[in-house]
């Protein structure tokens, strides 16, 4: 059988929440179309570890539980998953570090298989096996999420009076990201040196990223020079081109510019509109470069369409929100209309 060539669409959490509640016909119609195209092997909508994090914070709706919502998300995805966010983060940084050491081009190629598990372009079966495991502290994550948004909005007044240019603020974001990687590793290494071997288990993933970088270094680099070489990478143009870090830095710097121009002047309203900003940014940073289309809420779509981010232009991913819902349907219609006769015949043979 000829292998299908599927497009990848990322459905943000707001889409699943609205579709699952079943009250807004716009989401029900979109969900039906997407399911039809996935059944016809033209489209796939994988779920991610960030979907799981957000779903487990959901408090339920009219008798429906978070497990029900997670099952809805997984069934829509037909069991196809993205790699966990921490694996993508690690892979991107290590790929950039290898290019840095080889003095290769800093324009790092993005390979779709780096972000998705398994072979995407194959015929799906009827069945999937679901093993439910989730061990994170849900209440702690809820509290940290709320505190994070409150802290972010609390920065707005300072942003209004700050003198840094957009480029300077991007540089600050990148510098801080690199510093956090190094600090996480040093803290883990210090704990291990003191005999606390649980550090290997409970340290942040960022610590293992630097550990992986040290493993890559040639044996000719010894002692303090090894960590110094890692620091040089984090201050280089190679780190700036790591897609996760590039998108994150430019999104926060762009949000700052929007605030300086008068956006989110009502701080209480800002708290509501930006309540999921950190998870939304995590969705986009980690997964958008591996997708053909991305459905997100309106505030996030406004942010990624700003010229200083230009997500569609930079990564070739179509961005859809309620502001251009008709364009989403047009994109889905074009995908279905483009189904070849060979694909149609193969579909009839695989699913008689």
Q: What is the 3-state secondary structure (H, E, C) of 62-81?
A: CCECHHHHHHHHHHHHCCCE
What is the chain's Cα-based Rg? 22
Is 194's pLDDT higher than 80? yes
Mean pLDDT of 166-175: 94
The tokens of 139 are what?
Answer: 């209440």
The tokens of 262 are what?
Answer: 């008068």
25-29, 76-80, 131-135, 249-253, range with the lowest pLDDT: 131-135
Contact indicator for 114, 93 with CB cutoff of 8 Å: no
pLDDT tens figures, 263-309: 888 988 888 888 778 888 888 999 999 999 999 988 899 999 999 99
The reply to whether 107 falls in a domain is yes
Cα angle, residue 36 at apex, residues 32 and 37 outer, rounded to 5°: 120
Nearest to 241, CA basis, from 349, 350, 95: 95
Q: What is the 3-state secondary structure (H, E, C) of 240-288?
A: HCCHHHHHHHHHHHHHHHHHHCCCCCCHHHHHHHCCCHHHHHHHHHHHH
pTM > 0.75: yes or no: yes
Q: Give dist(CA 157, CA 159) in Å, integer.
A: 5
Q: What is the 3-state secondary structure (H, E, C) of the chain?
A: CCCCCCEEEEECHHHHHHHHHCCCHHHHHHHHHHHHHHHCCCEECCECHHHHHHHCCCCCECCECHHHHHHHHHHHHCCCEECCHHHHHHHHHHHHHHHHHCCCCCCCCCCHHHHECCCCCCCCCCCCCCCCCCCCCHHHHHHHHHHHHHHHHHCHHHHHCCCCCHHHHHHHHHHHHHHHHHHHHHHHHHHHHCCCCCHHHHCCHHHHHHHHHHHHCCCCCCCHHHHHHHHHHHCCHHHHCCHHHHHHHHHHHHHHHHHHCCCCCCHHHHHHHCCCHHHHHHHHHHHHHHCCEEECCHHHHHHHCCCCCCHHHHHCCEEECHHHHHHHHHHHHHHHHCCCHHHHHHHHHHCC
Nearest to 191, CA basis, from 175, 211, 176, 177: 211
Nearest 10 degrees: CA dihedral of 247, 252, 256, 259? Answer: 100
pLDDT tens figures, 65-101: 666 666 766 677 777 888 888 889 999 999 999 999 9
Q: Give dist(CA 33, CA 36) in Å, integer.
A: 5
Structural domain count of the chain = 1
Q: Give dist(CA 86, CA 92) in Å, integer.
A: 10
Place of tokens 């489209």: 43
Per-residue pLDDT, 212 = 94
Give the CB-side neighbour count of residue 7, counting CA atoms within 13 A.
22
Residue 306 is part of which domain span?
7-148+241-350
The reply to whether 322 falls in a domain is yes
Is 134's pLDDT higher than 90? no
Confidence band of 39 (pLDDT split at 50, 70, 90): confident
The reply to whether 256 falls in a domain is yes
Per-residue pLDDT, 280 = 85
Place of tokens 């990322």: 10
Per-residue pLDDT, 66 = 60
Q: Residues with Cβ < 8 Å from 330, sequence gap 6 or more?
A: none
The reply to whether 204 falls in a domain is no
The reply to whether 262 falls in a domain is yes
The reply to whether 38 falls in a domain is yes
The reply to whether 18 falls in a domain is yes
The reply to whether 199 falls in a domain is no
Q: Give dist(CA 94, CA 101) in Å, integer.
A: 10
Is 140's pLDDT higher than 50? yes
The tokens of 165 are what?
Answer: 């240019």
């Amino acid at each position: 059988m000829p292998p299908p060539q599927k497009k990848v669409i990322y459905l943000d959490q707001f889409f699943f929440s609205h579709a699952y509640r079943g009250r807004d016909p716009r989401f029900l119609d979109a969900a039906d179309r997407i399911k039809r195209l996935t059944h016809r092997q033209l489209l796939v909508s994988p779920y991610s570890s960030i979907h799981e994090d957000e779903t487990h914070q959901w408090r339920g709706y009219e008798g429906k539980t978070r497990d029900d919502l997670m099952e809805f998300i997984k069934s829509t995805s037909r069991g196809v998953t993205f790699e966990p966010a921490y694996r993508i983060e690690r892979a991107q940084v290590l790929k950039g570090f290898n290019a840095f050491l080889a003095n290769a081009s800093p324009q790092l190629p993005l390979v779709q298989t780096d972000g998705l598990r398994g072979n995407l372009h194959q015929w799906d079966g009827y069945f999937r096996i679901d093993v439910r495991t989730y061990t994170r502290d849900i209440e702690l994550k809820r509290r940290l999420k709320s505190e994070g948004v409150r802290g972010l909005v609390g920065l707005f007044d300072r942003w209004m009076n700050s003198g840094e240019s957009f480029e300077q603020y991007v540089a600050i974001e990148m510098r801080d990201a690199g510093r956090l990687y190094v600090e996480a590793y040093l803290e883990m290494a210090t704990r291990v040196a003191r005999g606390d071997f649980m550090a290997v288990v409970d340290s942040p993933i960022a610590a293992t990223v630097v550990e992986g970088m040290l493993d890559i270094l040639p044996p000719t680099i010894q002692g303090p020079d090894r960590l110094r070489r890692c620091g040089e990478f984090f201050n280089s143009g190679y780190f700036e081109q790591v897609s996760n870090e590039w998108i994150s830095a430019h999104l926060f710097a762009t949000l700052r510019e929007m605030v300086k121009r008068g956006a989110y002047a009502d701080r209480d309203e800002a708290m509501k509109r930006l309540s999921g900003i950190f998870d939304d940014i995590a969705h986009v940073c980690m997964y958008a470069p591996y997708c053909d289309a991305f459905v997100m809420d309106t505030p996030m779509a406004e942010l990624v369409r700003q010229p200083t981010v230009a997500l569609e232009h930079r990564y070739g991913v179509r961005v859809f929100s309620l502001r251009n819902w008709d364009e989403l349907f047009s994109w889905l219609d074009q995908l279905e209309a483009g189904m070849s006769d060979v694909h149609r015949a193969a579909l009839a043979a695989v699913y008689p």
